[in-house]
Amino acid sequence: MVVRVWGLCVLALAVGCGPGLSVEEQAARYFALVDGVTFTYESASGLTEEHQYEAGSTGDDGALSFSRVARRGGFVQDDQTLTLRVVDADVYIAQFYDCLTRCGRPDNDVKLLTFPLEAGQVNETDVTVDVSTNGVDEGSRAERHRFAVGDERDISVPAGEFTGFDVLWSRTIDGDTDSASFVVVEDVGWVEVQSFDGAVFSLTTVPDLGTDEES
């Protein structure tokens, strides 16, 4: 997925941090995390997906919580749905899947991105994930998640022409590794997503994030 999740995770990148930005402003401007904002993607085969952010409660540490919910044809794509936490300049994955039908709860947050993004930035986290389906406990498994920021490049998608960073997401579960990828653009979010099953989705329109470009 991506979580751009699946769904990960579309987040926008920062090439620099404006002075005095609050966590809320950072989340909106640099990671494209805004409650209710919906991103629409389309694959080469004509499939469409909508990824919407739903804000949760603020933690005692001031961290912001968002669910990035992916839907196709009105149905939640739980393998592309994540719960994210924003702490200062960092974004973490706090929970995998929709946690209604299926849930993956890691024993620690998985570090996803930090701004400003730079080519060569790598975040790698080893976690134990408790998995359940329809409320039935399926046990725990060891997972390693690695996010590697590649070079900045120009990309053309139906929503327009952008310059963004490639991010490769490698996921190792019980010794088997697969990967997803996404391209993130500051003030826009994830403009292209390749999910773990190989499907590629491109952003069709740029949503209004309500950010102030002068910040």
Domain 23-203 maps to which CATH number in 2.30.30, 2.40.360, 2.30.29, 1.25.40? 2.40.360
Residue 13, pLDDT score: 31
Residue 11, pLDDT score: 36
Please count the CA atoms within 13 angstroms of the CA of 170 that sit on its side-chain side: 13
pLDDT band at residue 12 under the 50/70/90 scheme: very low
Q: Name the burial class of residue 106, with classes exposed (0-12), middle (13-18) and buried (19+) by CB atoms within 10 angstroms of its CB.
A: buried
Amino acid sitting at position 62: G
For the chain, give the mean pLDDT: 86
Q: Which of 3-7, 30-34, 43-47, 142-146 has the lowest mean pLDDT?
A: 3-7
State pTM to two decimals. 0.85
72, pLDDT greater than 90: yes
Residue 212, pLDDT score: 52
**Nearest residue to 83 (alpha-carbon basis) of 45, 109, 119:** 109
Across residues 183-197, what is the average pLDDT?
Answer: 91
In the chain, what percentage of residues exceed pLDDT 70? 88
